[in-house]
Amino acid sequence: MKSIRNIGERIEKGLASQKVKKYAYKLVQKEKHELTAENGQFNLLRTLFDNNAMISAFKSGKNGIVTGNDFSDSGINALVSSAVLSAESSVKDSCHDISPEQKPAKFRQGCLKPDYDKFFDKVKELISDIGREYPKVQIMSVIGEYDKVHSLYRNSNGVDFEEYSGSYSVMVEFSGHEGDKTTNLDYAWVSMNDLDKRFIDQGAFRQHLENAQNQLNQIPLTGKFEGSVIFTPDCFAQFMMYVQSNYISDAVLIDGTSLWKNKKGKRVADKSFSVSLNSHDPRMVGGERVTADGYKSVDLPVIEDGILKNFTIGLYAAKKTGKPVTLNSSSNIVIKEGTDSIDDLVKKAGRGLIVGGFSGGQPGTNGEFSGVAKNSYYIEDGKIKGAVSEVMINGNLGAMLMNIKGISKEVVVDGNMVIPYICVDGIVVSGK
227: pLDDT strictly greater than 90: yes
Distance, CA of 16 to CA of 19 (rounded, Å): 5
pLDDT recorded at residue 144: 98
The pLDDT value recorded for residue 236 is 98
The confidence score (pLDDT) of residue 121 equals 97
In this predicted structure, what is the pLDDT of residue 108?
98
Residue 183 pLDDT class (50, 70, 90 cuts): very high
Domains and CATH numbers, the chain: 4-214 (3.30.2290.10), 224-430 (no CATH)
Residue 317 has pLDDT above 80, yes or no: yes
Average pLDDT over residues 151-161: 99
CA R_g for the chain: 24
Q: What is the mean pLDDT of the chain?
A: 97
Render pLDDT for 43-100 as a digit per residue (tens, 0 to 9). 999 999 999 999 999 999 999 999 999 999 999 999 999 999 999 999 999 999 999 9
Residues 6+ apart with CB under 8 A from 85: 64
Q: Is residue 146 within 8 Å of 193, Cβ to Cβ?
A: no
Q: What is the pLDDT of residues 18-54, one digit of tens each?
A: 999 999 999 999 999 999 999 889 999 999 999 999 9
Whole-model pTM: value is 0.95
| Cα–Cα distance measured from residue 356 to residue 384, given in angstroms and rounded to the nearest whole number | 14
Top-confidence residue, 184 or 152: 152
In this prediction, residue 39 carries a pLDDT of: 85
Secondary structure element (H or E) that encloses residue 131, with its range: helix 116-133
Closest listed residue to residue 43, CA positions, set 35, 52, 51, 34:
35
Identify the band that residue 5 occupies on the pLDDT scale cut at 50, 70 and 90. very high
304 near 274, Cβ under 8 Å? yes
